Amino acid sequence: MRRTAAVPLAVGLVIGAAGCGSLTSAATEVGGVRMTDQRPVRDGGTLTVALKSDPDKLDPTLAQTLVGRTVFAGMCEKLYDTDRAGKVVPQLAAALPKTSDGGRTVTVPVRRGVTFSDGTRLDAAAVARSLERHRTLPGSARATELGPLVKAEAAGPYTVRIRLKEPYVPLTGVLADRAGMVMSPRALAKYGKNFTNHPSCVGPFKYVERVAGDRIVLAKDPRYYDADKVHLDRVVYKTITDGSVRLANLRSGDVQVGDQMGPVEVRSSLTEPQLQLFNSPSLGYQGLGFNIGNVHGTGEKPGKLRTVLAREPRVRAAFALALDRKLINKVVFQGMYEPACGPVSPESAIAPGAAGCPERDLPRAKKLLKEAGVKLPVPIELKVSTSPEDSRLGQVIQAMAREAGFDVRLRPMEYATLLEETDAGQFDAYVSGWSGRLDPDGNIASFVGTAGAMNTYGISDPVIDRLIAEGRTTADRAGRARVYTQLADRIRDQHALIYLYRQKNYVVARKDVAGVRVYGDGLVRVKDAGFAR
Amino acid sequence: MTATPDTVDVAAVSAAPAAAPRPGTLRTRLRALRRNRLALTGAVIAAVFVLAALCAPLLTPYDPAGPDFDAALAPPSWAHWLGTDDLGRDQLSRVIYGARASMQVGLLAVVLAFLIGVPLGLAAGYYGKYADSAVSRLTDTLLAFPFLVLAVGLAAVLGPSLLNATLAIGISQVPAVIRITRAETLRLKHLDYVGAAIVNGGGDGTVLARHILPNATSALIVQATVGIPAAIIGEALLSFLGLGVQPPAPSLGVMLAGAQPFLGPAPWMAVFPGLAIVAATLAFNLLGDGLRDVLDPRGGTR
């Protein structure tokens, strides 16, 4: 009995102590963009990176999450990579691709003298095999972005020829992501779909072990072609979902790098002398998606749903009009992100014209609901992840929508489960975001194209499909920019995917860590990282 | 102590019958409770919580779920006595409604645990043999799971809501109630008056309901005062983990969870719900301690 009394007492003391600690803090401002630091580093050491959620499959063909890409950045190199200016540069390819045959044939030269972590040599056949797997494996999350491919084949020992149905301008950008990752052909032959548990690629670090829900361990790969420049012995990716816990672990020194830090944590980290902040503007977007036709699962042809949301675009439009983006940014994110109304970031390779950001308009929202003739309040279940930030966002959306006549129930769920259920179409609405790609097509086609690989919403619109195709085949930049502006408007008018805000990539690291790189794609690149001398 | 023990004892013995009536009556017990300052404090605070929970709609100055984005993260002031949270909701109103949820779970969970546990404990203790083995093995099985694991598991299976949190906490308290009831029954059933009641032709039901259960109440009351704070903490814990009360409805646990990122910039968000949990559990624990001292026949009055 006495022990039960001691527990709340201890809690009270801790809370009191934390409260006093804040008295010493001072307001400091986030500086400008800072992507890396160049201090020299010593060899050796284990770097622990805290990730916001547990990565999904460690198979480049099937993987879907941003945290997964961060892990891949340590162990799976791609044909191309993005540099700090957001330009595509060769990585496992020897040079940028050459197009011929009116854009229908693309030739990629492959880097020589490269070995996979399992000792197999990298050649054109290995690249072609990986590309074909990305394109054809059932359930591939790369299928949409590689949709225009007819065949990838080895045209010589170190030359890959890719044949396309039609010209496909975004291809280079696509090959600078998971679709450009090359998997060891021996590992593929041996493990097949189980590659996720024995991944083997070309990378500065190789896979050692994974404890689901807790950590992924990588070790320096002595076979890596650029191994002299790799300083760390090991990299451990630890899953810590709660941002304040990530920060507490950074403070204590248990982890050295904290991925995807939220605005509140960034503000507190600024007052800590032993921590440093990296930040870059995001290429992605965050928002919420409605289920308007996902009946058979994502990637399948949409069907008819009987929910009010699916039947009535006016109800969805009313919901969108009930939300105040500026206020969401101010209240939920301390004003440290940017309101957003379209899929394409101004930082993108091809920035579209400024999309008109609709202001909050309650009277119109109410009028639309009246015209739709629905019974008020309209019940909606909004699925959010369990992160405190999502919970706050959900509650703000809930409060704003209530004023228009919606009864939003929040359903917090673990992120991987959330992805599973939304993929299967088991949702009314969910908080949905994308870390972003350099090419605008990477932010659009998979999500809103009919039966796109990540079109969880069941959107199917002939105009959108036509514009996507146009964007892919238009070669000149001004023309593409026009197409994507039209696309953004058309997507907005569907009111199925409502863009709300654009994040900044905030990564907090301990001061003794140097060489970590954080570019616009939001990944934490650890190849050059190490502990400062 | 060594000086004149005799005179002191004589005075006490001679004064006792005049000052206090027969020990063990309700009046003596209440008086003893009143003399126990700590228990009295506990009782008063507990009463304040129960009252606040009952009259929550009358006491709260603001809608506990209604945000006011312009007033977000305001420190305590005249307009908001306990400040506001990150969405500009009045903390005082939320603490009061949160306490209401806590009380609701605290009381209902204990009632549930008693409704299930007492009959089973009586049967096990009174009939013995197979009934005892069956019930005791069930208790052992439930006890094998730590409270937290059992409650979290049940809440996760049933789905997150206040009612399900109550069920989960109630069920996880059942084994303790069974054990205590069984032990008391075992002790009482061999006493002469129970034997006399059986000889007089009292059926099992009569004996259990009129002779055994009433005499086991003091142990059960103490168990209830231990169970309530445990249930309050359980509710806060489940809500903290997202398995209890769902936002925007306030609960002390939900408030603490939401306050985590703001410990630095807005400590009042964590301090007040934290204090409320401390006060509520402490109050019931003190009351329980006091009641045990008073009701325990072996301890006598202090």
Q: How far is B93 from chain A (nearest CA, A)?
A: 17
Provide the 10 A C-beta neighbour count for residue A410: 21
Tell me: pLDDT of B198 over 80.
yes
Rounded Cα–Cα distance for residues B80 and B93 (Å): 9
Q: Are A91 and A202 spatial neighbours (Cβ–Cβ below 8 Å)?
A: no
Rounded Cα–Cα distance for residues A455 and A427 (Å): 13
A153: which 2 tokens?
A: 């084949």
Q: Which of A1, A9, A18 sits opposite B288 (nearest CB)?
A: A1
- Cβ of A392 within 8 Å of Cβ of B282? The answer is no
Q: Are strands A406-413 and A378-385 parallel, antiparallel or unpaired?
A: parallel
Contacts of A59 (CB under 8 A, 6+ apart): A183, A193, A195, A196, A199
Q: Are A431 and A393 spatial neighbours (Cβ–Cβ below 8 Å)?
A: yes
pLDDT at B129: 86
Amino acid at A43: D
Can you say how many angstroms the Cα of residue A122 is from the centroid of all Cα atoms in its chain?
Answer: 28
Q: Which of A4, A331, A398 sits opposite B69 (nearest CB)?
A: A331
Amino acid at B112: L
Rounded Cα–Cα distance for residues A440 and A170 (Å): 8
Average confidence (pLDDT) over B257-262: 85
Taking CA A320 as the corner, what is the angle to CA A319 and CA A326, rounded to the nearest 5 degrees? 125
Kindly state the DSSP code that residue B74 receives in the 8-state scheme.
P
Q: Are A48 and A236 spatial neighbours (Cβ–Cβ below 8 Å)?
A: yes
- Cβ of A244 within 8 Å of Cβ of B69? The answer is no
pLDDT, greater one: A51 or B14: A51
Kindly state the DSSP code that residue A432 receives in the 8-state scheme.
E
Q: Which of B87, B257, B278 sits opposite A396 (nearest CB)?
A: B87
Rounded Cα–Cα distance for residues B117 and B125 (Å): 12
- Quick: pLDDT tens for A51-105: 988 999 999 999 988 899 999 999 999 999 988 888 899 999 999 999 988 889 9
Instruction: List the end-to-end C-alpha distance of chain A, in Å, as a whole number.
Output: 54
DSSP alpha helices (H): ranges in B69-146? 91-127, 129-144
Half-sphere exposure of B7 (CA within 13 A, CB side): 4
Average confidence (pLDDT) over B188-213: 87
Rounded Cα–Cα distance for residues B232 and B106 (Å): 5
Q: How far is A262 from chain B (nearest CA, A)?
A: 9
Provide the 10 A C-beta neighbour count for residue A361: 16
Q: Are A161 and A155 spatial neighbours (Cβ–Cβ below 8 Å)?
A: yes
Rounded Cα–Cα distance for residues A146 and A136 (Å): 9
Q: Are strands A46-51 and A257-258 parallel, antiparallel or unpaired?
A: parallel
Interface of B with A (CB under 8 A): 66-67, 69, 72, 86-88, 160, 226, 229-230, 233, 242, 246-248, 257-258, 260-265, 267-268, 270-271, 274-275, 277-278, 281-282, 285-286, 288-289, 292
CB contact, 8 Å: A386 with chain B? Answer: yes
Helices B91-127, B213-240: crossing angle, 10 deg rounding: 140
A456: which 2 tokens?
A: 């969880």
pLDDT at A28: 54
Which uninterrupted H or E stretch holds A331? Answer: helix A325-333
**What pTM did the predictor assign?**
0.76
Query: What ipTM does this complex have?
Result: 0.70
Mean pLDDT over all residues of chain B? Answer: 84
pLDDT at B282: 93
Contacts of A367 (CB under 8 A, 6+ apart): none
pLDDT at A19: 39
Rounded Cα–Cα distance for residues A127 and A133 (Å): 10
Rounded Cα–Cα distance for residues B220 and A130 (Å): 69
pLDDT at A105: 94
Kindly state the DSSP code that residue A428 receives in the 8-state scheme.
S
- Cβ of A11 within 8 Å of Cβ of B274? The answer is yes
DSSP alpha helices (H): ranges in A346-461? 362-372, 388-404, 415-423, 441-448
Rounded Cα–Cα distance for residues A239 and A71 (Å): 11
- Quick: pLDDT tens for A201-211: 999 999 999 99
Residue of chain B minimizing CA distance to A408: B248
Which uninterrupted H or E stretch holds B172? Answer: helix B162-189
The stretches in chain A having pLDDT less than 50 are 1-27
CB contact, 8 Å: A265 with chain B? Answer: yes
> For the range B137-143, what are the long-range contacts, defined as Cβ-Cβ under 8 Å and sequence gap of 24 or more?
B138/B178, B139/B174, B139/B175, B139/B178, B139/B179, B142/B171, B142/B172, B142/B174, B142/B175, B143/B175
Coil, strand or helix at A210 = strand
Tell me: pLDDT of B125 over 60.
yes
B291: which 2 tokens?
A: 């009641």
- Quick: pLDDT tens for B18-77: 444 455 567 777 777 777 888 889 999 999 999 988 888 888 888 888 888 888 888 999
- Quick: pLDDT tens for A153-191: 999 999 999 999 999 988 998 999 999 999 999 999 999
Length of chain B: 302
Rounded Cα–Cα distance for residues A427 and A429 (Å): 6
DSSP of A386-406: SSHHHHHHHHHHHHHHHHHTE
Beta partners for A41?
A532
Handedness of CA B171, B172, B174, B175 (dihedral sign): positive
B210: closest CA among B224, B196, B228?
B196
pLDDT at B288: 86
Amino acid at A519: Y
Q: Are B235 and B102 spatial neighbours (Cβ–Cβ below 8 Å)?
A: yes
- Cβ of A15 within 8 Å of Cβ of B260? The answer is no
